[in-house]
Copies of this chain bind each other. A is one copy, B any other.
Amino acid sequence: MLSKNTIKHITSLKLRKFRLAHNQFIAEGPKVVKEFLNSGFIVEQVLGLPESPVFELRENFPDIDFVPVSKKELDRISLLKTPNEVVAIVERPEAGLFPITAFSGIVLLLDEVKDPGNMGTIIRTADWFGIHHIVCARDSVDVFNPKTVQATMGSLTRVRVHYADLVAFLKNIPDDLPVYGTLLDGKNIYDTPLSENGIIVIGNESRGISSKVLPFITKAVYFPHFPSAQKAGAESLNASVATALVLAEFRRRGTVL
């Protein structure tokens, strides 16, 4: 039986201040929990229905505490609307643990993404396209927000997310490294040469790329509507969708053409 204090502790991790205070975050569902178990992250405890397939893995992880709970208890500790078998308490890695020292390949730079779901979907998409590093403005949503962890579907174990002062970061990159950004007055992306190395800047959901970051963009690109002559239509794309389209075009050029 879980104590009231345990339940209170776990549900407190919904809030960033308690995730920071306890240096922990929550991952839920068999797929996501398995990814964290098999990653470099330190899983402190797995609480779940004893019949969950995740419990079959307990022999492989003798140092991790597997706590069987009832359906009712799971409902109380889960931060999801539809609790999904298991909840893991994972140690939150220290900020700055993963400095980016080399710039090879594509690095994604998020200029204040605010929505936890968007952040998670961007991490999942980056993982799909083989992007290993994401640099976020310090005011971005916390990557260990439960909705973000959930939306990554485990990709957080493979993509490293760094929080940084974007201006300081951009001042320190090699001069010849191209910095791409999607701007309404940019060049049609299909007519723009895309490099194998570089930084892709994704703007905030409502105001786009900030005025502080804007001067660092060396290649402004634009993703065309269709049909181009269309009068009315969506004025913009969701931030995670825009990210996916840009990454796909970089990858298509590199691999297919």
Contacts and interface: CB of A to CB of B under 8 A. Distances in A.
Interface residues of A, number: 39
Interface stretch (A58-66, A91-99, A162-170, A220-228): A220-228
Interface string A218-252: 00000111111010111111101100110011011
Contact of A248 (B117, B127, B151, B248): B248
Contacts of A190: 252, 256
A186 interface: no
Given A244-B245, A256-B190, A155 B234 contact: yes
A182 interface: no
Nearest to A155: B234
A241 B153 contact: no
A172 interface: no
Contacts of A103: none
Contacts of A130: 225-227, 230, 233
Contacts of A125: 234, 237-238, 241
Given A121-B238, A224-B251, A240-B241, 7 more contacts: A124-B237, A124-B238, A125-B241, A128-B234, A158-B234, A190-B252, A248-B248
